[in-house]
Amino acid sequence: MAYRRVINRFFTPPKMRAMEPKVRECSTQLLTPLIEKGDADVATEYAQKLPAHVFAEFFNLSVETSSEIKSVSGEYVDAIQVLDHDTVKRLSKRLYEIAQDIIDARSQGIRPEEDLTAGLLDAEYNGAPLPAPMVLGCVRQLIVTGMVAPSVFIGNMFVHLSRDPELQDELRASPEKIPAAVEEFLRLYSPYRGMARTAREDTEVGGQTIRQDDPIALVYTAANRDPRVFENPDEFVLERENIADHISFGRGTHSCPGAPWRGSCCASPSRRRCPARSSP
């Protein structure tokens, strides 16, 4: 967990709140020309671009490098979906190269005051530096995860809003309801569909026998639409009483460190159990 301890230091709610003005600035820069134009493909012209701009700020990269990561990671995920193994291998190699370039820059002394990659390089475990291959894998995974999930989620959110003019009007009239809407969007359109794991020992879950070394897929989207937990699970319900039960960011030890990104969405007193407020 040495890696997680370093990562958690950079995703605390105070650090995310400090990033908020920069995120708003990025959003304004991207949205202003689209609003002036009056017509736009929000998924392509905004949702696909915003993560690269925000990521450049957070990871201390140039917008050009961040945009390349966004482009490559998007193609990488698309190739995975269609089982294009040759393209997956080629793009995965490029993502590792970019991650190594970031690490090399920090190793050579180009270190901003607050930098996650530098933090990983400086960390120790049992008195020794973290293994270089593991640091590389960690940085590579972070740059992919940070690019893909926001684009997917923002795009789905805009599609939903485009189909529900009444909800648009309600949120414009009562912007204080937007945090609750974001949480319900997260439940309905979980940015990540699930996580793969391997069973360490024989066990049984829900009457299903799972053998040691069996591959397991944990599907968050299914849990977030479980009718035993959420009434009318396939419907958008603003201000659900048990919305804090959604697991779009995982839960417990394996909760997503990026959950505090939307911590400001939990400012309402009625949302004290929101996972974003209790994430490490």
Domain ranges of the chain: 1-163, 170-280
User: Rounded distance, CA 50 to CA 45, Å?
Assistant: 9
The pLDDT score that the predictor gives to residue 277 is 31
Does residue 214 sit in helix, strand or coil? coil
Tokens of 248: 């779009």
User: Rounded distance, CA 184 to CA 190, Å?
Assistant: 10
The pLDDT score that the predictor gives to residue 269 is 31
Confidence category of residue 271, pLDDT binned at 50, 70, 90: very low
Provide the H-helix boundaries in the chain.
Answer: 2-10, 13-37, 42, 50-58, 63-81, 85-107, 116-122, 132-162, 165-173, 178-188, 220-224, 275-278
Average pLDDT of the segment spanning 55-73: 87
Between residues 184 and 12, which one has the greater pLDDT? 184
Q: Which of 105, 129, 127, 189 is nearest to 153 (CA)?
A: 189
Sequence-distant (≥ 6) Cβ neighbours of residue 209 within 8 angstroms: 202, 203
Average pLDDT of the segment spanning 9-24: 87
Instruction: Please report how the helices 13-37 and 50-58 are oriented relative to each other, as an axis angle in degrees rounded to 10.
Output: 150
CA distances for 106 relative to 65, 84, 103, 137, angstroms = 15, 33, 5, 16
The pLDDT score that the predictor gives to residue 261 is 63
Q: Which of 127, 94, 143 is nearest to 135 (CA)?
A: 143
User: Rounded distance, CA 120 to CA 215, Å?
Assistant: 30
Contact between 116 and 10 under an 8 Å Cβ cutoff? The reply is yes
Between residues 108 and 232, which one has the greater pLDDT? 232
Please state, as a whole number, how many other Cβ atoms lie within 10 Å of the Cβ of residue 85. 10
DSSP 8-state assignment for residue 189: T
Q: Give the right CATH number for 1-163 from 1.10.3720.10, 3.40.50.300, 1.10.630.10, 1.25.40.80.
A: 1.10.630.10
Model confidence over 36-52: pLDDT tens digits? 998 888 888 898 888 88
Measure the CA dihedral 149/151/152/155, to 10°. 150
Tokens of 91: 């793009």
